[in-house]
Amino acid sequence: RTARALKQKLDERARILERLDQQPSWVVYGAAIFASFGSTLVVHPIDTIKTLTMSNADVGAGEGGGNDEGTGEQAGGGPMGLPPLGMLYKGLVPNLLKEGPPSGLYLGIYEAVKAALLSSSGLPPLVCYLVAGAAGEFAGSAVRAPSEAAKTRVQSGIASGPVEAFQQLAAEPGATFDTWSTSLARDVPFGGIQIALFECVKTAILQNPNLDIDVNSLLAEALIGAFAGAVGAFITCPADVVITRLITQSSSSANGGDGE
């Protein structure tokens, strides 16, 4: 009975994967962009707090931005000394640009590379997942870099809004390249680890006859994805700190600050 139940789960999984493979490419790209927009809207305040913490600033580190003393509007205006909610949503537009299109590109390339490797390379599935995820994130990071630099400048107070942030980047053409080249140390490992762990956990659950979990349900995929993302984020956190400080300190120096 256990073997029969396991076979049924594996057969159902194979049918789902076959249907997914038959979908047009635009569905993969569109779904990834839509999901990324939704998750970014929810977690953007946390991302702002993370940016402020990493940049060693209450709200800003450049001219016209906040400082360690802050202002009544910038810091301490919300519960537990946090900035008010409106301040936590600073930089939302560039963050949506940072996450949406690159996520579509990442997942689309991942699916294409994964299918090619699994069908013809003879490599173990785990290696295929890692390589495909890294390839997708490599391409996505190139698109993400300008918006990430703009988002961080707005969140930290170096720029007053997205328009000013992108104007600053246009005046510093090397800043975007520095952001992208450094972000590769974070994005490529994160992309590979996250998707490989996600796929492996789902496979392990499917192949365990003692677990009766529908890994294709929305809740299961969300929980497994959150776990895989958390592990990837933990491993690549040092590189993320370096990127944030690179953006804020180089911007502060360019604006006449000392970067400290």
Q: Which long-range contacts (CB under 8 A, 24 or more apart) does 35-39 make?
A: 35/103, 36/99, 36/100, 36/103, 36/104, 37/96, 37/99, 37/100, 39/99
Q: Considering only residues 94 and 212, tell me which one the structure prediction assigns the higher pLDDT.
A: 94
Q: Are 36 and 103 in contact (CB under 8 A)?
A: yes
pLDDT for 70 equals 40
Calpha distance 126→199 (Å, rounded): 8
Domain boundaries, the chain: 2-254
Q: Each residue of 16-36: pLDDT tens digit?
A: 667 766 777 777 778 888 888
Mean pLDDT in residue range 58-62: 41
Superfamily of domain 2-254: Mitochondrial carrier domain (1.50.40.10)
Instruction: Report the pLDDT value the prediction gives residue 56, as an integer from 0 to 100.
Output: 61
Residue 66: its pLDDT value, please?
Answer: 43
Q: What is the pLDDT of residues 155-182, one digit of tens each?
A: 888 888 889 988 888 888 787 787 788 8
Nearest Cα residue to 193 out of 118, 131, 101: 131
- Write phi, then psi, for 259 (nearest 5 degrees): 80, 5
CA angle 164, 170, 176 (to 5 degrees): 105
For the cut 50, the answer to whether the pLDDT of residue 238 exceeds it is yes
pLDDT at 256: 52
